Amino acid sequence: MRISVIGCGYLGAVHAASLAHLGHDVVGIDVDPEKVENLSAGRAPIFEPGLPDLLAEGLESTRLRFSTDIADAAGAHVHFIAVGTPQLAGSTGADMRFVDAAVASLIPHLRGGDLVVGKSTVPVGTAARLAPDIEAVGARLAWNPEFLREGYAVTDTIAPDRLVYGIADGDDIAVDELNEVYAAAIESDTPVIVTDYATAELVKVAANSFLATKISFINAMAEIAEVTGADVTKLADAIGYDKRIGRKFLNAGVGFGGGCLPKDIRAFTARAEELGRSDSVAFLKEVDAINLRRRERVVELVIERLGGSAFQKKVAVLGLAFKPNSDDVRDSPALDVAVRLHGLGANVVATDPEAIANSRRLHPQLTFGTVEEALAGADAVVVVTEWKQYRHLDPREVAAVVANPLVIDARNCLDAEAWADAGWEYVGLGRRPLS
């Protein structure tokens, strides 16, 4: 099938390369010339495991190419819209300018019968708003939200948990076409939910709202654990054995971030307000507030444990990406903690296996280094992204290079007892400090 993917960021680059891997003929379009140049040369502009191999394979087979010219989408039959929908500056709503511009630029190149497929996460009502202009040129619109997880994006694209097709009334052909796009997943019995536009759009924001709520729920329990001496990690294990609850997404820590969960729950709140239903999702404001409080708490703990001030103390910040196996620092709690500590006069040396370049672009005032440079002579070590490299640090070896054996485990990802046994003052979130 001939396919275009408009927008080649975290979602679009992986989507384009994965569809080429599945045998389709794909052109990826992006307005960013540097991104297109890199992708065309087989260089992944983002860190995403598996993406470089798929790019190499797709480019070599000539099934995959990239362009800055939207006219190159002409001739494709299915056109995915994968541009960003970030938080609007000065508001909690979604910035829809990129989606609107991408659709407007695509319309002159559509042929009758083409299928435009929205992948971006959008406020409910967007597809119904965009459909008339697309239908006016004889093309059709479907909404097929994306659920990939950064760090597992390739697997999630090739073998998704489920597929959701939001289609116009009676457009059964769109279902057949999308089934053809995802033939490999369909053959492996991936569930397909066919629905209207509004439901498809809502499925995505509802899923992210649920996940964010689950994280903030356990972080709220951590806040209570901190004032009662309870241990939130044991609490999570104990409630997680209940199959109705489940253990996943119950890791108390510094909270969620990234280019999706925070802005999606805020945009949902803004959209619900427009719909006169702000009460229905008012709890999401609390979910957001709990989440942001955890970042403050980590900073507070560092200060508290350093005797009341972090001023001129060397703090090793381990992790900058919002999650491991990603270089994404959008709304990253880890980067936020580094920036706050730096703002308080701490001598922060921050490190990350993949996210230093992106962090430096946003916060050139910070000092970045290797993990060895960060740890050397540190008065406090803060683990804020649970990269495998940090989880597997040997507490005895690290103790030998720091000035003061104090570790704040903001992801509860270290072996607390092993660190305490090695002479560390170990401080997790929502659990008693150990030493």
**Nearer to ligand NAD (CB atom), residue 93 or residue 259:** 259
Residue 323 labelled as part of a binding site: yes
Q: For residue 200, state whether it binds ligand NAD (rule: CB under 6 A).
A: no
Query: Would you say 225 and 235 are in contact if contact means Cβ atoms under 8 Å apart?
Result: yes
From residue 283 to residue 322, what is the string marking binding to ligand NAD with x (rule CB under 6 A)?
Answer: ----------------------------------------
DSSP 171: -
- 24's tokens: 């389709």
Q: Which range in 9-17, 49-57, 275-283, 296-304 contacts ligand NAD by CB under 6 A?
A: 9-17
Residue 67's Cβ-count burial label (10 Å; 0-12, 13-18, 19+) is middle
Binding-site member from 5, 11, 310, 371 for ligand NAD (CB under 6 A) = 11
Is 125 marked as a binding-site residue? no
DSSP helix/strand/coil, 340:
helix
Six token digits for residue 373:
């440079």
Tell me how far the alpha carbon of residue 186 is from its chain's centroid: 26
251 assigned binding-site residue: yes
Q: Which residue is nearest to ligand NAD (CB)?
A: 9
Q: Which is nearer to ligand NAD, 335 or 381 (CB)?
A: 335
By CB under 6 A, residue 82 contacts ligand NAD: yes
Phi/psi at 7 (5° precision): 100, 110
257 among annotated binding-site residues: yes
How far is Cα 176 from Cα 354, in angstroms, rounded to an integer? 40
- State which of positions 341-380 bind ligand NAD (CB under 6 A): none
Q: Are 233 and 428 in contact (CB under 8 A)?
A: yes
Is residue 32 part of the contact set for ligand NAD (CB under 6 A)? Answer: yes
Dihedral (CA of 242, 245, 248, 254) sign = negative
Edge-first strand order for the sheet with 406-409 is 367-368, 347-351, 314-318, 380-383, 406-409, 425-428
Distance between CA atoms of 413 and 110, rounded to whole angstroms?
A: 50
47 is annotated as contributing to ligand binding? no
Residue from 51, 59, 64, 148 touching ligand NAD (CB under 6 A): that is 148
Polymer length in residues for the chain? 435
Q: Is the Cβ of residue 29 or residue 194 nearer to ligand NAD in the bound state?
A: 29
The owner of tokens 């196996």 is 325
Closest to ligand NAD by CB, 256 vs 419, is: 256
Alpha helices in 249-403 (DSSP H): 261-274, 283-305, 333-343, 356-362, 371-375, 388-391, 395-399
Question: Residue 121 or 385: which CB sits closer to ligand NAD?
Answer: 121
**Binder of ligand NAD out of 25, 114, 150, 336 (CB under 6 A):** 150
Distance CA(72)–CA(109), nearest Å, equals 8
Q: Which stretch binds ligand NAD (CB under 6 A): 29-37, 52-60, 279-287, 399-407?
A: 29-37
Q: Does the footprint of ligand NAD cover residue 160 (CB under 6 A)?
A: no
- 382 - beta bridge partners? 317, 408
Residue at 94: amino acid letter? A
Tokens 């996940």 belong to: 211
Active site residues: 260
> Does residue 35 belong to the site contacting ligand NAD (CB under 6 A)?
yes
Instruction: Select from 1, 2, 31, 377 the one that contacts ligand NAD (CB under 6 A).
Output: 31
- Determine the Cα–Cα distance for residues 118 and 99; give it in Å rounded to an integer: 9
**Residue entry with tokens 């803004």:** 270
Cβ proximity to ligand NAD, 260 vs 371, nearer residue: 260
Residue number, 267 or 299, with CB nearest to ligand NAD: 267
16 binding ligand NAD? (CB under 6 A):
no
Give yes or no for residue 120 binding ligand NAD (CB under 6 A). Answer: yes
State yes or no: 150 annotated in a binding site: yes
Please state the closest distance from residue 249 (CB atom) to ligand NAD, in A.
Answer: 15
CA distance 86 to 32: 16
Q: How far is the CB of 262 from ligand NAD (least distance, A)?
A: 11
Q: Tell me how far apart the 2 most distant CA atoms of the chain are, in Å.
A: 71
- Interacting residues with ligand NAD (CB under 6 A): 6-12, 29-32, 35, 82-85, 98, 101-102, 105, 120-121, 146, 148, 150, 259-260
Residues contributing to the annotated binding site for NAD(+): 30, 35, 85, 121, 150, 263, 330
Which residues make up each annotated binding site for substrate?
A: 147-150, 204, 249-253, 257, 323
